[in-house]
Amino acid sequence: MELKQIYELWDRFETSGINDLEIEFQGVKLHMKKEAGAQNGSKPAMSADRIADDNQNQLEAQTIESVQTAGDANLKEIVAPIVGTFYASPSPDEKPFVEVGQSVKKGDVIGIIEAMKLMNEVVADEDGVVEEIWVQDQSFVEYHQVLMKMK
């Protein structure tokens, strides 16, 4: 089960009349539960546990790498404003909106996040220079996930 599938399931669960759902599929245990007394459309709580050890080790390695590179206090993080698929360019045959070392101005588009078939532009909230890009083109991003860092 891919993360994108989990979020699609989350969206459906969120708007359903179901209050508690537990699934085990292809090595992933997924439990979603709405708060007591929650109405349809309220935000559910979700936990997912990977059964396979190698997947857990990979996640831990990514976390360690993130902590080790997060030390520069002069870098401003640009984070995903929503959950969805990140696109680094307007179309597959065009160059990326930004590249490492490129100067950007406040309001410049630095990427697009597709959510529920809608394309949402991600813009720089201040002037700067792109120092690090943390996500790959067409990768799934979570809310408030670091997309890139600027100086």
- Looking from the CA of 12 toward its CB, the CA atoms found within 13 Å total 7
Residues recorded for the chain? 151
Region 53-75: mean pLDDT is: 49
Model pLDDT, residue 40: 47
Rounded to an integer, what distance in angstroms lies between the CA atom of residue 91 and that of residue 151? 27
Residue 53, pLDDT > 50, answer: no
Q: Are residues 39 and 58 in contact, defined by beta-carbon separation less than 8 angstroms? A: no
What CATH number belongs to 73-150?
A: 2.40.50.100
Q: What is the DSSP letter of 94?
A: S
Q: Where in the chain is the domain with CATH 2.40.50.100?
A: 73-150
Question: Across the chain, which distance is largest between two alpha carbons, in Å?
Answer: 50
- pTM metric for this prediction: 0.53
What's residue 26's pLDDT? 64
Q: What is the pLDDT of residue 24?
A: 75
CA angle at residue 149 from 144 to 150, to 5 degrees? 130
Mean pLDDT along residues 37-63 = 46
pLDDT bin (cut points 50, 70, 90) of residue 73 is low
CA distance from start to end of the chain = 37
Strands (E), 26-96: 28-33, 45-50, 76-79, 84-87
